[in-house]
Amino acid sequence: MNNTTIPGIPVVFEDEQIIVVNKPAGMLSQPGRAEPDSVSSRVKLACVEATGPMLVHRLDMDTSGLLILAKNRNAHRHLQQQFEQRRIGKRYQALLTTVPSGLGGCIQLPLRLDSDNRPTQIVCNEHGKAAMTLWRRNLACSARAVTLYPVTGRTHQLRVHLAHPQGLGIAIEGDRLYSEAEHRVKEDRMMLHAESIVFDHPVSGIRYSLQSLAPFLQIA
């Protein structure tokens, strides 16, 4: 078991093949055009033995939680295949701006980029890509808390599916793109956290289930 230290980024799991970190809210997953600092750039500096592309998937800048990175090309390819085949399980926690009705359900709304308002995504039945999210109330933490299971992994999928009138119709607290103006500045971060990820190890094949509690939720 390795023991890499990455400034500002907690390491949840690490071995010779992969590293799983707890991404802070407000940090890019990969370098942007105007912002070179990111999770992947910091991990690359810290993991000097790593080769090839490391980032396997991404989280929005404003989302916190578990992020997997590969240390070599074989591990990267193996993990990408798992994502493509939907063999990786993901669970998120979110705090909404108001209390939802119902106890849970399934949201299916196709999404595409709003080319006139990047990086916003919009629901589009004609040109959008299929997207599905399962959700349920998390009453143990808060009346406004929901647990989310993305079946697909479209950009901003959870945020749009929750906020859109044809979805849940309630935005995530602190969402700068999809919530009402008063909720964009109410919190110092968006209340969305990737709390669990389940995957097959790229070499051993062992099924791992890693957890990271949402920092903005407490058991009621």
- φ/ψ of 78, rounded to 5, equals -60, -45
Q: Is 73 exposed, middle or buried (0-12, 13-18, 19+ CB in 10 A)?
A: exposed
Helix (H, G, I), strand (E, B) or coil at 166: coil
- Hey, which residues does 163 pair with through a beta bridge? none
Helix (H, G, I), strand (E, B) or coil at 198: strand
- In Å, how far are 94, 95, 97 from 186, measured between CA atoms? 15, 13, 10
Catalytic residue among 60, 62, 114, 188: 60
- φ/ψ of 41, rounded to 5, equals -70, -35
Length of the chain measured in residues: 220
Listed residue (143, 198, 204, 130) closest to 170, CA to CA: 143
Residue 114 falls in the annotated catalytic set: no
Residues marked active site are found at 60
